[in-house]
Amino acid sequence: MIIVGLGNPGKEYEDTLHNCGYRVLDKLSESLGKKIMKIECSSLTCVTQIEGEKLVLAKPLTYMNNSGEAVKSLLARFNMKPKDLIVIYDDIDIPRYSLRVRLSGSAGTHNGMRSVVEKIGTENFIRVRVGVGKNEYNLKDYVLSKIGSEDKERFDRLFTTAAKIVEDFIRDGDTEKLMREGNNVK
């Protein structure tokens, strides 16, 4: 299985709303006692195993709008199919501090997801959407804004919850449980 957290590389993007995918992956790798450090397939990666299954954690370095290039390369490199893929990303179209899990579906308004769907040629892969809500700002300015100190703790808990839900799914393979738990975080 390949788990990709979408985001933008670099210090200036570290604590932005657009880097929720990276942050969930950080929590997951921490839980697994692994570091995402190897550079391959235009991504920072780490390879491990859970319950005897190969697990690749990846943070694309292509910047958000070109994430599909890295995801396509990762699938080819590790000889996996889109059904073996989970993509985690921020989503303005769901309420702030909530999660939504889908087994397939459109990219919606997210340019990173549009890139992934376009490059791998299918919408049939699991996605974990981290709700950042909408704001009156210009969309680009909003998603690239820093998570404020008043929100930091709440988002941190959300990232930890999302990582746990994904880890549980990797361990038990129960998609119904994944959907139930992921869609009940509000």
Per DSSP bridges, beta strands 53-60 and 43-50 are antiparallel
The residue annotated as part of the active site, out of 4, 8, 17, 18, is 18
pLDDT digits (tens, 9 = 90+) for 19-45: 999 999 999 999 999 999 999 999 999
Residue type, 105: G
pLDDT of residue 142: 85
Please say if 18 is a catalytic residue: yes
Confidence grade of residue 64 (pLDDT, cut at 50, 70, 90): very high
* Distance from C-alpha of 39 to C-alpha of 15, rounded to nearest angstrom: 21
CATH number assigned to the domain with residue range 2-182, chosen from the 4 options 3.10.450.50, 3.40.50.1400, 1.10.1660.10, 3.40.50.1470: 3.40.50.1470
pLDDT of residue 141: 85
User: If you average pLDDT over every residue of the chain, what do you get?
Assistant: 94
Range 85-110 average pLDDT: 93
Does the structure show a pLDDT above 80 at 186? no
Does the structure show a pLDDT above 90 at 91? yes
Q: Where are the domains of the chain?
A: 2-182
pLDDT digits (tens, 9 = 90+) for 114-166: 999 999 999 999 999 999 998 776 878 888 889 989 999 999 999 999 999 99
Percent of the chain at pLDDT exceeding 90: 78
* Distance from C-alpha of 168 to C-alpha of 124, rounded to nearest angstrom: 21
* Distance from C-alpha of 55 to C-alpha of 170, rounded to nearest angstrom: 9
* Distance from C-alpha of 18 to C-alpha of 111, rounded to nearest angstrom: 11
Tokens of 159: 């990232």
